[in-house]
Amino acid sequence: MPKQNSRWTDRQIELIIGKLLRIGVILAAFVVFAGGIYYLAYYGASSPDYRVFRGEPTDLRHVRGIVQDAFALHSRGLIQLGLLLLIATPVARVAFSILAFAVQRDRVYVVVTIIVLSVLMFSLAGGHI
């Protein structure tokens, strides 16, 4: 019986990454759409007052507040969570690439991809740690 190679092929990795990206975008779109429908159901008939500027509530400016609002089924929290999922999709792709390159034992690409992930996370953190 021939010994099977436990490493992933490039084609297998491409298929997994494609599914990861597709699922991430579809999930994000569904969450944003559900939040939008929920928002319109409650606030769609109200008229906006453009004389007074009301910025984003403070609880929706941080990930913890967004997640809490989304799990409390607040419409704005759901919309923001969908946008966070959309942003997290390519980050998950880069993180998965590190794993895939490690399984393939390609050290150069592991190091390069870790650097890419670090730069990506640094920029998402607002350019400061």
Rounded Cα gap, residues 81 and 35, in angstroms: 9
Once rounded to an integer, what is the mean pLDDT over residues 52-73? Answer: 87
Burial of 92 (0-12, 13-18, 19+ CB in 10 A): middle
Rounded Cα gap, residues 84 and 11, in angstroms: 29
Looking at residue 1, its pLDDT comes to 42
The answer, yes or no, to whether residue 65 has pLDDT greater than 80, is: yes
Rounded Cα gap, residues 55 and 5, in angstroms: 56
| The total number of residues written for the chain in this structure | 129
Query: Rounded mean pLDDT of the chain?
Result: 88
The separation between CA 105 and the C-alpha centre of its own chain, rounded to angstroms, equals 27
For residues 60 and 77, is the Cβ–Cβ distance under 8 A?
A: yes
The DSSP secondary-structure symbol of 109 reads H
The pLDDT tens digits of the residues spanning 80-105 come to: 999 999 999 999 999 999 999 999 88
For residues 25 and 86, is the Cβ–Cβ distance under 8 A?
A: yes
The answer, yes or no, to whether residue 47 has pLDDT greater than 90, is: no
The separation between CA 43 and the C-alpha centre of its own chain, rounded to angstroms, equals 27
Looking at residue 50, its pLDDT comes to 82
Rounded to two decimals, what is the model's pTM? Answer: 0.80
Rounded Cα gap, residues 93 and 16, in angstroms: 9
Rounded Cα gap, residues 111 and 2, in angstroms: 33
